[in-house]
Amino acid sequence: MTDPAAYDADTSIVVDHVSKDFTLRYHRTAKQMAVAMVKGRDISDTFSALDDVSFTVKQGESIGLMGLNGSGKSTLLKLINGVMKPDSGTVLTRGRIAGLIATGAGFHPQLTGRENVYLNAAILGMTEPETQRKFDSIVEFADIGRFLETPVGNYSSGMFARLGFAVAIHVDSDIFLADEVLAVGDRPFKRKCMEKMQEIRESGRTLVYVSHAAGSVRKMCDRVIVLEKGRVGFDGPVDEGIRYVKYDEDSTKPEDQEDDELGSDV
């Protein structure tokens, strides 16, 4: 086990030799499994989503987490916010954590927007009075109008993300995780999100920002970590990191500066 006392008082996130495997199940039912066994095929296989990942983040640092689809970014964020535990290694964090993972919030599809705001806020550690106090501001930011009283299962993906982001930014957190938040949502909302995250950053909170949009990472982050097939491929200054991710892509086309910033974040 890693000793928390071994780190400085301003350490915000510690990821120490962390690995996470997933089991890939090819066959799920008894019948399929029986057939597979008779034919001598594999029933399941393990897949290493994160492999010996280590880094530490200081309070107030803003990290751009980059890498191709499937490189383990969302998995890493799930370990940092405590949804999952690593198979080996240690994750340590300091203070409250809020944010969005894999674009969506943890909302219950059958509950209305209003109910979900309360539930989500409670899970993130907000008290009832605190939620009541911030409720109007949350709703205003999400800007979902009359849909507040309909089940979130009926929301468009943009509305869903907006409400989730609105709750997350209202939590008085010390660490903020933003996983492809800009991938859904329209242009005005993206701009609003960027402003908000800039605020979060300036308030001295630790920010982990996952994005494919180089421009926004450049604007938002002090450091870039690049994941490659579950391993840390690069950890260092922003510009160098961005160059590192793009090494095998055709060079950046600076046709639309804003698009680069706001991200055609897929």
Partner 1 sequence: MTEAGRHRVVDAPLAPPAPTAGLLDVLGRRYLLKLLVRREISARYQGSFLGFIWSYINPLSQLFIFWFVFGYIIGRGTVDKYAVHVFCGLIVVHFFTETFNAGTRSIVRNKALVRKMAMPKEMFPVASMLVSLYHVGPQLVILTVVCLFCGWTPDPLGMLAFALALAIIAVLGTALALMFSAANVFFRDFASAVTILTNFVRFGVPMIYPYTLVDQRFGRFAELYLFNPIADAVLLVQRAFWVGSTDDPDATIAEHIPDDLFVYGVGALVGSVVLLGIAQLVFTRLENKIPERLS
Ligand X SMILES: Nc1ncnc2c1ncn2[C@@H]1O[C@H](COP(=O)(O)OP(=O)(O)O)[C@@H](O)[C@H]1O
Q: Which residue from 15, 73, 100, 103 is in contact with ligand X, where contact means CB under 6 A?
A: 73
Token code pair at residue 156? 């468009």
Q: Of the candidates 61, 95, 91, 58, which has an alpha carbon nearest to the alpha carbon of residue 76? A: 91
CB of 72 to partner 1, least distance (A): 13
Q: Does 70 bind ligand X (CB under 6 A)?
A: yes
Rounded to a whole number of angstroms, the distance between the first and last alpha carbons of the chain is 37
Helix (H) or strand (E) holding 228: strand 223-228
Which backbone phi and psi does 178 adopt, to 5 degrees?
Answer: -130, 105
CB of 197 to partner 1, least distance (A): 13
Q: Does 103 bind Mg ion (CB under 5 A)?
A: no
Which backbone phi and psi does 236 adopt, to 5 degrees?
Answer: 175, -155
Q: Does 69 bind ligand X (CB under 6 A)?
A: yes
**From partner 1, ligand X, Mg ion, none, which one binds at residue 85 (CB under 5 to 8 Å depending on kind)?**
partner 1
* DSSP characters over 171-214: S--SEEEEESTTSSS-HHHHHHHHHHHHHHHHTT-EEEEE-S-H
Q: Does 74 bind Mg ion (CB under 5 A)?
A: yes
Q: Residue 68 in contact with residue 125, Cβ under 8 Å?
A: no
* Binding segment (CB under 6 A) for ligand X, from list 68-76, 115-123, 150-158, 182-190: 68-76
Q: Which residues bind partner 1 (CB under 8 A)?
A: 4, 7, 10-12, 14, 22-23, 59-60, 78-85, 90-97, 101-102, 104-111, 115, 118-120, 122-124, 127-128, 174, 201-205, 222
CB of 29 to partner 1, least distance (A): 10
Q: Which residues bind ligand X (CB under 6 A)?
A: 22, 24, 49, 67, 69-75
